[in-house]
């Protein structure tokens, strides 16, 4: 019974962590696009996006990441089920994707800090593509956890990669239409 409570809390904080990661990158896009606006709109928007990003990052995303990790550690090392999972190949692959998620989170933190200092090192188009990283990791982890198979998750990841390519092609097509209409 204790295990189900821990698992529920882990899942809740994983969901809020991903929500924060998805939204922070969207705020990065808006922030970068605000740089192209005329004054005073530019300054007003950037100030607001900095506040929104700060609150999202430190009140939701970071705490969710920490709490999801604590409950995951608890499940893996202090419950009989977790100890059994550690010997299964699908869990090793899942933990590899979790490591990628931490790296993605840390890169988002770096971008967050740069934008807070008004350092522009990326484009809004880069951020749109970057946002797909969390989506791919999410798909891989969900398929792994549900299928509990170290191989079948590949089909889900390939599917999301193909879906991402279609989204990017659609984005490029839309961008061309938008640029043509603005000419």
Domain range for residue 145? 2-182
Mean pLDDT (the chain, rounded): 90
**47-90 pLDDT, tens digit each:** 999 999 999 999 999 999 999 999 999 999 988 887 788 888 88
In tens, the pLDDT along 98-140 reads 999 999 999 999 999 999 999 999 998 889 889 888 988 898 8
Does residue 154 have a pLDDT over 90?
no
Q: Is residue 109 annotated as involved in ligand binding?
A: no
pLDDT > 70 fraction of the chain, expressed in percent and rounded? 96
Predicted pLDDT of residue 121: 95
Bigger pLDDT: 80 vs 9: 9
What domain count does the chain have?
1
Q: Is 10 annotated as a binding residue?
A: yes
Q: Whole-angstrom Cα distance, residue 174 to residue 22?
A: 22
Query: pTM of the full predicted structure?
Result: 0.85
By CB atoms closer than 10 A (0-12, 13-18, 19+), residue 39 is exposed
């Amino acid at each position: 019974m204790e295990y189900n409570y821990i698992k529920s809390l882990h899942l809740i904080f994983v969901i809020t962590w991903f929500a924060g990661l998805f939204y922070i990158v969207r705020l990065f896009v808006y922030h970068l696009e605000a740089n192209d606006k005329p004054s005073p709109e530019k300054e007003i928007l950037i100030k607001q996006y900095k506040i929104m990003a700060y609150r999202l990052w430190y009140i939701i995303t970071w705490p969710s990441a920490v709490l999801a990790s604590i409950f995951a550690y608890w499940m893996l090392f202090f419950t009989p089920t977790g100890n059994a999972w550690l010997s299964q190949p699908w869990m090793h692959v899942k933990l590899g994707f979790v490591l990628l998620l931490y790296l993605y989170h840390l890169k988002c933190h770096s971008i967050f800090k740069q934008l807070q200092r008004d350092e522009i090192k990326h484009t809004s188009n880069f951020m749109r593509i970057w946002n797909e990283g969390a989506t791919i990791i999410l798909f891989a982890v969900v398929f792994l956890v549900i299928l509990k198979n170290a191989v079948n998750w590949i089909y889900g990841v390939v599917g999301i990669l193909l879906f991402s390519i279609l989204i990017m092609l659609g984005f490029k097509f839309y961008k061309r239409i938008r640029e043509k209409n603005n000419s």
